[in-house]
């Protein structure tokens, strides 16, 4: 049974989409079968995967609103993972779902039939705590939280952690934080080092050891519709996301091998 992971942070510009696309490609490089779901109406993960969001025949909108099977909406991408894409149509989905029964469960229900086909399902969430994000969290086993080490980072993190706690209590008791990922990191900036230390002091091993640096090649890759691994596999950005994939897999294997753990996660 594949592990479903939401990549989320209510703050925009912290590297959610960059992480979703590049982690998906890096997991594929380790011979894992991966499904990436673009749950952001901006469709950046779709474009960053080399798929034109304006030409999608089927999208995550059809899955959530019309209950189309995921297998019908999924596309094979050049980087090697499957993608359920997104575009501006998704903006209407939240309104249309408001009057539906079990509206928080739509994505969870849709994924039940395909989880066994993948090692990992990654969900790129929108930068807000709306019904789309709630659907992602209800469907997920765990959450990756990308964040920049800057002044307002911890304030936004607190609100997100409260939301995750509410989802755990009311809708998805199995949901857990897989890890906090430091992104766009520049060790020359004193504040970045200070916030990084605060994170590790407070969250301990929930903070990934892997750090994603500021990297020109990583920033350029989306404009070419490619993960950085395809654009420049020797860049620091590519190496860092490969390291993150390895760390994610090791964590899952360690959890699997703990006494009393029966559920496969990788």
Which pLDDT score, from 0 to 100, does residue 150 have? 84
Residue whose C-alpha is closest to residue 227's, from 240, 210, 208: 240
Give just the sign of the alpha carbon dihedral 76, 77, 79, 84.
negative
**pTM, whole model, 2 decimals?**
0.94
Backbone angles phi, psi at 82, to 5 degrees: -85, 150
Cα-to-chain-centroid distance, residue 105:
18
Enumerate domains of the chain plus CATH numbers: 3-256 (3.40.50.300)
Q: At what angle do helices 153-170 and 190-203 cross, to 10 degrees?
A: 30
DSSP string, 2-13: PEEEEE--SSSS
Residue whose C-alpha is closest to residue 33's, from 74, 93, 88: 74
Residue whose C-alpha is closest to residue 238's, from 259, 261, 223, 216: 216
Helix and strand counts by DSSP (H, E) for the chain: 12, 8
The CA-based angle 250-251-254, given to 5 degrees, is: 85
Which pLDDT score, from 0 to 100, does residue 142 have? 97
Burial class (CB in 10 A: 0-12, 13-18, 19+), 169: exposed
**Contact residues for 42 (Cβ-Cβ < 8 A; gap 6+):** 86, 126
Strands 176-185 and 207-213: parallel
Which pLDDT score, from 0 to 100, does residue 260 have? 61
Which pLDDT score, from 0 to 100, does residue 158 have? 84
Residues 147 and 14 sit within 8 Å (Cβ to Cβ): yes
Which pLDDT score, from 0 to 100, does residue 238 have? 97
pLDDT tens per residue across all 266 residues of the chain: 789 999 999 888 899 999 999 999 999 999 999 999 999 999 999 999 999 999 999 999 999 999 999 999 999 999 999 999 999 999 998 888 888 888 999 999 999 989 999 999 999 999 988 899 999 999 999 999 999 888 777 777 888 899 999 999 999 999 999 999 999 999 899 999 998 998 999 899 999 999 999 999 999 999 999 999 999 999 999 999 999 999 999 998 887 777 665 544 44
The Cα–Cα gap between 70 and 202 comes to 38
Backbone angles phi, psi at 102, to 5 degrees: 50, 40
Which pLDDT score, from 0 to 100, does residue 261 have? 53
Which pLDDT score, from 0 to 100, does residue 266 have? 40
The Cα–Cα gap between 120 and 115 comes to 8
């Amino acid at each position: 049974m594949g592990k479903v992971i939401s990549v989320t942070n209510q703050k925009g510009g912290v590297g959610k989409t960059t992480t979703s696309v590049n982690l998906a490609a890096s997991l594929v490089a380790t011979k894992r079968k991966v499904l990436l779901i673009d749950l952001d109406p901006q469709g950046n993960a779709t474009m960053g995967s080399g798929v034109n969001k304006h030409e999608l025949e089927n999208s995550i909108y059809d899955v959530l609103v019309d209950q189309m099977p995921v297998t019908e909406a999924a596309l094979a991408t050049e980087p090697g993972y499957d993608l359920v894409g997104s575009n501006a149509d998704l903006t209407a989905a939240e309104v249309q779902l408001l009057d539906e029964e079990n509206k928080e469960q739509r994505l969870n229900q849709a994924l039940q039939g395909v989880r066994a086909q993948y090692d990992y399902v990654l969900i790129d969430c929108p930068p807000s705590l709306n019904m789309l994000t709630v659907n992602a969290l209800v469907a997920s086993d765990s959450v990756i939280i990308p964040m920049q080490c800057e002044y307002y980072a911890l304030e936004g993190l607190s609100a997100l952690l409260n939301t995750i706690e509410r989802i755990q209590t009311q809708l998805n008791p199995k949901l857990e934080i897989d890890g906090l990922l430091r992104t766009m990191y520049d060790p020359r900036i004193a504040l970045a080092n200070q916030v990084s230390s605060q994170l590790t002091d407070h969250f301990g091993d929930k903070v990934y050891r892997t750090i994603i640096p500021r990297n020109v090649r990583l920033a350029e890759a989306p404009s070419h519709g490619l993960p950085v691994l395809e654009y420049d596999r020797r860049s620091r950005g590519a190496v860092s996301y490969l390291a993150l994939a390895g760390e994610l897999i090791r964590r899952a294997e360690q959890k699997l091998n703990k006494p009393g753990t029966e559920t496969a996660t990788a």
